[in-house]
Amino acid sequence: MPIKPSTPEEEFFARQEWERKRALAQTREQALKEEERKALRERHWMRCPKCGMELVEIAYQGHQIDQCSSCRGVWLDAGELEALSKAEDTGFLGSLGRLFKD
């Protein structure tokens, strides 16, 4: 019978995976020229990162939440996860906030 890892263990390994993948992505981003970065920003602004359709932004309980008009995925701007995780420190959002904290 497999042993289920505890929440702190899951957070530790998930954070290690995130840091490794983030470092690889940053290496690829550094190789892009400024014009390429600008073109990517303009092409993808307010577009779903999964399906490319338009994101719809709403204000809810003091937070800006973007939802894809097509696949219904939810997108949070930089800083929104931290703000949400502070309101729910012991729950799932609190755990996510700790995982992606700089």
Residues contributing to the site for Zn ion (CB under 5 A): 48, 50-51, 53, 68, 70-71, 73
Cα torsion for 80, 81, 82, 86, to the nearest 10°? Answer: 110
Our CB check for Zn ion shows the closer of 49 and 79 to be: 49
- As measured in angstroms, the least distance from the Cβ of 45 to Zn ion is 14
- As measured in angstroms, the least distance from the Cβ of 70 to Zn ion is 5
Our CB check for Zn ion shows the closer of 32 and 56 to be: 56
- As measured in angstroms, the least distance from the Cβ of 56 to Zn ion is 11
Separation of alpha carbons 56 and 49, rounded Å = 13
Our CB check for Zn ion shows the closer of 48 and 84 to be: 48
